[in-house]
Amino acid sequence: MKKILLLGAAGHIGPYIVPGLERFYELRLADVKPHPDGREQLTVDIARYEQVLDAARGMDAIFNFTVNRSHPALSFAVNLRGAYHVARAAVELGIPRILHTGPELIIPRYQPEFGIGDVPQQPGTGYYGLTKYLSMEICEIYARAYGIQTVCFQFNGLGPRPDGAVVGQDFPPFTIIWEDLVQACRLALELESVPGNYQSFNLHSYPSQGKYSLEKAERMLGYRPTAGLEEHFRRPVLKKS
């Protein structure tokens, strides 16, 4: 079994995807705060390089799900410096694979359009978007310079698969369900290589909207989102008598 260091294991994503990944990989969970389900994990501050380095020893890949959105100092330390520490540790330890994550950075620029594919990133002026955009630049530089196979997933919302009719709410573009994210993580890990050693992918579970294309993820990763989720959001049409 491949050994994976999962940083951000106690955050907004880690606790929901670990059950789907631990059946296939040996996971080493790490975070700066306790795990909400009481799972055993390492205490690792991604802003401190030596802690990241020690946690990554003996691993086959590093998954980085850490994030800080609101604090001006911590967001730089976690989002930007943390990505640098992950890449640097991978080089020092000879770890061949990194899975990085970030927000979508194209919706505001392409809001009225449809069929948007692999277009240039548009981070805007928000501090969070800029730190995450620069973190992707760091990952790409290290990937190309040192041959680290690096995949970056970009999405907007995450949540469970609907189990019935959804009333009173809608799903925003770039929403992905946990099962689809687990699938994508496995596909990224099993790939032999990606072009240029680094690729970022739009990722979501609702292609029926027709706004943001999954063609690149489908072609390079073999990603196929769970079919038929739009059925949960359909509304009955009232006919006039």
- Determine the angle formed by the axes of helices 82-93 and 127-146, rounding to 10 degrees: 10
Position 120, amino acid: P
Judge if pTM exceeds 0.85. Answer: yes
Domains of the chain (ranges, CATH numbers): 3-233 (3.40.50.720)
Spatial separation of the C-alpha atoms in residues 16 and 157, rounded to whole Å: 13
Q: Which of 27, 31, 38 is CA-nearest to residue 9? A: 31
Spatial separation of the C-alpha atoms in residues 78 and 32, rounded to whole Å: 11
Q: Let me know: does 25 contact 13? Beta carbons within 8 Å.
A: no
Q: What is the DSSP letter of 212?
A: B
The tens place of each residue's pLDDT in the chain, 241 residues long, gives 799 999 999 999 999 999 999 999 999 999 999 999 999 999 999 999 999 999 999 999 999 999 998 888 999 999 999 999 999 999 999 999 999 999 999 988 888 889 898 899 988 888 899 999 999 999 999 999 999 999 999 998 899 998 888 888 777 788 999 999 999 999 999 999 999 999 999 999 988 888 899 999 999 999 999 877 888 888 777 777 6
